[in-house]
Amino acid sequence: MASRGAFQLNVILVLALAATAFSTLSPYYYQDVCPEALPTIKRVVEAAVYNERRMGASLLRLHFHDCFVNGCDASLLLDSTSTIDSEKNSRANQNSTRGFEVIDQIKIEVDKICGRPVFSCADILAVAARDSVVALGGSSWMVPLGRRDSTTASRTQADSDLPSPLMDLPALIDNFKRQGLDERDLVALSGGHTLGFAQCFTFRDRIYNETNIDDDFAEERRKTCPRNGGNTTLAPLDPSPARFDTAYFNNLVEEEGLLHSDQALFNGGSTDELVKTYSENARAFSADFAKSMVKMGNIKVLTGEAGQIRLNCRKVIN
Ligand code: HEM
């Protein structure tokens, strides 16, 4: 009997271990421990977006830049120290990613309402991205939660893994594939460029030298992005940069994509058809965008005992 009891105990232990090892994210992760966390994040995001519409775009981009560099682990948020080479100083992030103060504010308010630091910075990024899209008119989705925060960051990894606006379609497809994302994810997620702005230096070559660009559009953009100087002057990524709509895809069909990498999605290649579909079908875009955001949000997440829950999103707890 004793050995049968021991056997049953072993089975239970193995099952429990398996559950931890394969523990996946859940939208209800914080429901018992802090039911007020999600409404709090929503409130802070809404206030930030109300204060400055562009902030919604900036917050969405933070989650993307977090997930593409060693997974969605809030490594992007860590400031430089003697042991941390901050991703904020990488090519794609320096003088470009923004919204870190809003994340700090969310963390403070969430920890306060929860009574202790239980909500990870990586999860804050995922929820703030969703709430930003919704605040700017997009459809909502359930965000799976339970990510933990990294204890490391890598500027060199950021430099190699974040896509460049100069990439052609094969390079973009390959870049996303290395993250476990397919062509459909690439096109849907690029729809994030329905929000926000880009600096002149990121699209200068396109508006002066490329041929797959609408003449009037190129001329218009050249007015505020001169051949020399004006590197940081902003242009909207689509004509309605504070509205989550399908204008980005309509633009691609009209050869009015702002970045080289945007127009690469509609340039006679394998993604043309899907761009056209999204340009004509806002529901299809919204549904696929949500699906791909959840998929991106699953990239190499830390769960269980891995990583930590930071107190301050900019600093590792030693
Ligand atoms: C497909 C490859 C991508 C490339 C090459 C790319 C590149 C860029 C570049 C160059 C900018 C302008 C940065 C600046 O001028 O400071 C930008 C802005 C932005 N990107 Fe992307 N991006 C890509 C995919 C994505 C994805 C997947 C998302 C989100 C799902 C996203 C969301 C944004 C947003 C919202 C902005 C505007 C940010 C703001 O106004 O603060 N991008 N991107």
pTM, 2 dp: 0.94
Does domain 169-295 match CATH 1.10.420.10? yes
Once rounded to an integer, what is the mean pLDDT over residues 96-125?
A: 98
User: Cβ–Cβ contacts within 10 Å for residue 25, how many?
Assistant: 18
Does residue 71 line the site of ligand 1, with CB under 6 A? no
Distance, CA 308 to ligand 1 centroid (Å)? 28
Does residue 263 line the site of ligand 1, with CB under 6 A? no
Answer for the pair 136, 126: CB distance below 8 angstroms, yes or no.
no
- Give span(s): CATH 1.10.520.10, the chain: 37-161
Mutate to test the pocket of ligand 1, among 64, 65, 168, 258 (most ligand atoms within 8 A of CB): 64
Once rounded to an integer, what is the mean pLDDT over residues 222-233?
A: 98
Q: What is the pLDDT of residues 288-312, one digit of tens each?
A: 999 999 999 999 999 999 999 999 9
- Does residue 163 have a known ligand-binding role? yes
Does residue 198 line the site of ligand 1, with CB under 6 A? yes
Once rounded to an integer, what is the mean pLDDT over residues 112-138?
A: 98
Does residue 162 line the site of ligand 1, with CB under 6 A? no
Mutate to test the pocket of ligand 1, among 59, 204, 237 (most ligand atoms within 8 A of CB): 237
pLDDT (0 to 100) of residue 6: 53
Active site residues: 65
**With bands split at pLDDT 50, 70 and 90, how would you rate the model's confidence at 180?**
very high
pLDDT value at 275 more than 60: yes
Q: Which residue has the higher pLDDT, 31 or 13?
A: 31
Distance, CA 61 to ligand 1 centroid (Å)? 6
Does residue 63 line the site of ligand 1, with CB under 6 A? no
**With bands split at pLDDT 50, 70 and 90, how would you rate the model's confidence at 21?**
very low
**With bands split at pLDDT 50, 70 and 90, how would you rate the model's confidence at 7?**
very low
Q: Is the dihedral of CA 230, 253, 59, 51 positive or negative?
A: positive
pLDDT value at 1 more than 70: no
**With bands split at pLDDT 50, 70 and 90, how would you rate the model's confidence at 20?**
very low
Distance, CA 36 to ligand 1 centroid (Å)? 31
The mean predicted confidence, pLDDT, of the chain is 94
Tell me, letter by letter, the H, E, C secondary structure of the chain: CHHHHHHHHHHHHHHHHHHHHCCCCECCCCCCCCCCHHHHHHHHHHHHHHHCCHHHHHHHHHHHHHHCCCCCCCHHHCCCCCCCCCHHHCCCCCCCCCCHHHHHHHHHHHHHHHCCCCCCHHHHHHHHHHHHHHHCCCCCCCCCECCEECCCCCHHHHHHHCCCCCCCHHHHHHHHHCCCCCHHHHHHHHHHHHECEEEHHHHHHHHHHCCCCCHHHHHHHHHHCCCCCCCCCEEECCCCCECCCCHHHHHHHCCCCCCHHHHCCCCCCCCHHHHHHHHHCHHHHHHHHHHHHHHHCCCCCECCCCCECCCCCCCCCC
Does residue 100 line the site of ligand 1, with CB under 6 A? no
**With bands split at pLDDT 50, 70 and 90, how would you rate the model's confidence at 8?**
low
Distance, CA 262 to ligand 1 centroid (Å)? 10
- Give span(s): CATH 1.10.420.10, the chain: 169-295
- Does residue 260 have a known ligand-binding role? no
Nearest to 145 by CA among 27, 311, 57, 303: 27
Q: What is the pLDDT of residues 251-260, one digit of tens each?
A: 999 999 999 9
> Which CATH code of 1.20.1300.10, 3.40.390.10, 1.10.520.10, 3.30.499.10 fits the domain covering 37-161?
1.10.520.10
